[in-house]
Chains A and B, each alone.
Chain A
């Protein structure tokens, strides 16, 4: 007797695909209306056009905001991942005192609401006599991205076979070169995951950016928020939005594909986590929050 009978599995299949439709509907309408010739996103679509893409690319305020967010996102991805490696190395030390306290502090950004953190950072800058700046946005994003990086990198570090590093040391590698030659390459798939998750977290972050991005230098979400209140700007925001949606879906698929490929290649070299897809990482994030 199987666990699920045929009728139940048919019902569940319909339910699942209905939800997939529901989840993708808002993304689909953005992509469809990006090609709508009309200036208002309303059915029926009488003529198709790519003119809003043209308008969007000519709007330097919009493209500037997207680039600004991409730069802050990339910087956040690099810094948070670097800090995530350090935290993971530290937390995996044997006989570490106060480990539970350190874990709690490092994961704290997951539970402090972004809106409270955003206004708190505003007070911090004010207290230090600093103006709001993109640097402040970047630092805020590093803090909120750090736990995600740790939750991706640390389990991977734990799953590495210590014998591999010992072997490198026995063969004459110093601590640093053993780390560079053995640990780092084996961690690489998780570092890529970490970078991407931190990048997306920063690229999409609104609360902190809305308080700390200076006037005239909005990040993409901040520009999107103020721009979507202006009906004249809406079509070009939808056009750029469709590209961003397609781009992020492509990154998710490529990251997962690349990860499966890397895991297969590294399979022999590791103990656990051989066939764990990136989704499992996200599951850990879910469980870790």
Chain B
């Protein structure tokens, strides 16, 4: 049957994109793994034989600085993920339930900054807004909230500036999955709750919020995953003690080349993200796996 042959032909279209991902994504990951086990090396004179020394040092070495940096990064990542998700919820709620007619236009307004250059926005924070004679301090001086020519010490190169910048850059995107869930929610359920005597507040806590949890978790994971590997923000607004795990990886491959140890950190980062995906991935329901969901909406 001709239609059958057509189907077989269609599957073959997968070959080029799969080849690209396998060569250019899995290839590098495999090489990183080989370097991390000392099977390959960039350091002249180092024997290339299977060895778990680097892994051992990273995982069990007492007071290993990279492990400490990793834990610091995870704390920052968790704080940013929770902070953005909590702050984004009312934005999504506003779009879905208050801004009825203009909601898609306002949604566009909300996410538009996400599509402008990330590095430029970091420059704005580090060199125009938060620096010692920057706009924020200037405004505080003008309002007499701060003595002239003194600067708020924790405004830049601090935990605060790292959090602020990451929070700032993820807020627009994080609102989206929450908005999507609220927007597609069956409003009759909420109306039924209020008709049956629930106050608006208890209808929210007992109906709207539980139903929106998949979007909330998706939003949370959506910040968690990329922030785990973040390294650009600390380059601009972080001091020496606010560098993230990604910065450690970066320096092993640039300023002090030790690809073998750097590969351990790079693979550790990938593993953590994969574990997070295995834990939370089920909440990220793409309609790629189930063709039926599109029709069901």
Spell out A's residues near B (CB within 8 Å). Answer: 1, 3-5, 8-9, 12-13, 15-16, 19-20, 22-27, 29-30, 33, 41-43, 83-84, 86-87, 89-96, 99-100, 102-103, 105-117, 119-124, 126-127, 139-140, 142-143, 146, 150-151, 154-155, 158-159, 175, 200, 203-204, 206-207, 211, 220-221, 224-225, 228, 234, 237-238, 241, 244-245, 248-249, 251-253, 256, 272, 277-280, 282-284, 286-289
Contact = CB atoms under 8 A, between A and B. Distances in A.
Given A95-B7, A119-B32, A272-B297, A109 B25 contact: yes
B16 A83 contact: yes
B120 A244 contact: yes
Contacts, number: 322
A286 B177 contact: yes
Interface stretch (B51-59, B61-69, B89-97): B89-97
Contact of B91 (A15, A26, A119): A15
A102 B14 contact: yes
B213 interface: no
B211 interface: no
B284 A287 contact: yes
Contacts of B171: 19, 23
Interface in B168-218: 168, 171-174, 176-177, 179-180, 187, 190-191, 194-195, 200, 203, 208, 218
Contacts of B256: none
Interface in B25-63: 25-29, 31-32, 35, 40, 42
B108 A115 contact: no
Interface of B: 6-18, 20-22, 24-29, 31-32, 35, 40, 42, 87, 90-91, 93-95, 97-99, 104, 106-113, 115-121, 123-129, 133-135, 138, 168, 171-174, 176-177, 179-180, 187, 190-191, 194-195, 200, 203, 208, 218-219, 221-222, 225-226, 228-229, 231-232, 235-236, 246, 249-250, 252-254, 259, 262-263, 266-267, 269-270, 273-274, 277, 284-289, 291, 294-295, 297
B284 A12 contact: no
A253 B107 CA distance: 12
A86 B32 contact: no
B286 A27 contact: no
The SS class assigned to the A binding surface is helix
A126 B286 contact: no
A167 to B, nearest CB: 14
Given A24-B113, A284-B286, A112 B297 contact: no
8 contacts: A1-B200, A30-B128, A83-B16, A105-B18, A116-B267, A140-B24, A143-B25, A287-B218
Contacts of A283: 176-177, 179-180
B20 A20 contact: no
B270 A41 contact: no
Contacts of B168: 22-23, 26
B120 A123 contact: no
Contacts of A155: 287-288, 294
A11 to B, nearest CB: 9
Contact of A146 (B17, B104, B235, B273): B17
